[in-house]
Amino acid sequence: MHSKTILQAKEDLRQKKYSAVELTEAVYQRIDSVEPKVQAFVHLTRDIALKQAQTADQKLAAGEDAPLLGIPIALKDLICTQGTRTTCSSQILDQFVAPYDATVAGQLKSAGAVIVGKTNMDEFAMGSSTENAWHHPTMNPWNLERVPGGSSGGSAAAVSAHECLAALGSDTGGSIRQPANFCGVTGLKPTYGRVSRFGLVAFASSLDQIGPMTKTVADSALLMNVIGGKDPRDSTSADVARPDFMKALERDVSGLRMGIPKEYFTSGIDPEVERSVQEGIKTLESLGMKKVEVSLPHLQYAVATYYIIACAEASTNLSRYDGVKYGHRSQKTDNLLEMYMNTREEGFGEEVKRRIMLGTFVLSSGYYDAYYLKGQKVRTLIKQDFENAFEHCDVIVAPNAPVTAFKQKERIDDPLKMYLSDIYTISANLAGIPGISIPAGISRTDGMPVGLQLMSKHFDEESLIAVGHRFQQNTDHHLQQPSL
């Protein structure tokens, strides 16, 4: 039962092959079995989940229906869930219990979902390997000596290891797509503003976006129908009509133009990654899509631009953690200033401190124009690059990462090398466009999954879903399982 997709489980529940309680218990049995090795979760909500499953069974027995009725789903641990710890994998929020539901958490509950627990992540979503977590690192189910990617590594690993049927993650610079790529699952970053950020603990407010991590593109489409749409509680939520994403699954992709950005295929890419991506492009050509070369000339500045803007916003957003209102408070204090300093010194990890200091620097007097303002101007140029490219194509096809999942601790002491892990995903966040990672092969060198990244125009997730679903109908990469 635990290995089912959402759509398969929905049909099984409808036909009464098993109950929602039995499905939830099967998922927890799987968690009990593999979690000691994978460590995908920060905390589980077993009692709450079983009550939600019982309610789902009552509704199913009464003939009621809802999009996710009885489906076990996990949430990244920066999505507030009422009455449940929401820690961002940080010591500073270790005992924080959310007093309200994030909009997406409320939408999932209204749709009948069973929330099984909160997944591990890089602290405050700052990282690309889920090693910057205060509680523990998460392992890649395909090879326990490798990272699952980050920052949504716990969500990706949980879906890959069948510890839930789907999960929500967040993507600030690739944090859904890169771990989905590393763990061999599907991960969709919606257009900025498509999904409400209300109740998402902020890292970089102009970049963060919540999205689904699933076993198939079809499941992502179903989840997008639940979590997409305008939210009056989020001022950055776009007032754009939400389409029926499930209808995009029926679209024909023949005749669509796929743009291949030459800047993505450079000397730094692993040959096995390039092989899988090129084979994926050939598969799309066989479906009637037309290949055109496009250029994103400012891609080389994306990493530097991202870390200036993201760190500046992080510095501002994380200033609220001062030991006064909620979260950790240092006991080693003689006065107010010492309390502030000691609380932040004890509560934040090394990577979070690094980014706060970088962000404070680029916003400081005398450096604002040279760094932050210039970064915003380059961000505009990157956005214009995509707009120019989409005049010649419908979707852009590229790798998600230059390499497959790297080994634990391989890059933890080299921040620059770690930051370059996101070189292929960052630009979509800077431009605010949607992107999706879909499994596209297995490396013959190390046996690790390789993903294909698709990007499209603002609010055109339907094209990504149509192309991704058609790709999965004609390949079996998404059916490959880790030997866990």
Q: What residues are labeled active site?
A: 76, 151, 175
Task: For residue 109, give the nearest of 175, 159, 59, 174 by alpha carbon.
Answer: 59
The residue among 477, 474, 435 whose CA lies nearest residue 289 is 474
Closest CA to 76 of 201, 251, 224, 192: 201
Q: What is the 3-state secondary structure (H, E, C) of the chain?
A: CCCCCHHHHHHHHHCCCCCHHHHHHHHHHHHHHHHHHHCCEEEECHHHHHHHHHHHHHHHHCCCCCCCCCCEEEEECCECCCCCECCCCCHHHCCCECCCCCHHHHHHHHCCCEEEEEECCCHHHCCCCCCCCCCCCCCECCECCECCCCCCHHHHHHHHCCCCCEEEEECCCCCCHHHHHHHCCEEEECCCCCECCCCECCCCCCCCCEEEEECCHHHHHHHHHHHECCCCCCCCCCCCCCCCHHHHHHCCCCCCEEEEEHHHCCCCCCHHHHHHHHHHHHHHHHCCCEEEEECCCCHHHHHHHHHHHHHHHHHHHHHHCCCCCCCCCCCCCCCHHHHHHHHHHHHCCHHHHHHHHHHHHHHCCCCCHHHHHHHHHHHHHHHHHHHHHCCCCCEEEEECCCCCCCECCCCCCCHHHHHHHHCCCHHHHHHCCCEEEEEEEECCCCCCEEEEEEEECCCCHHHHHHHHHHHHHCCCHHHCCCCC
Region of residue 217 (phi > 0: left; psi between -120 and 50: alpha; otherwise: beta):
alpha
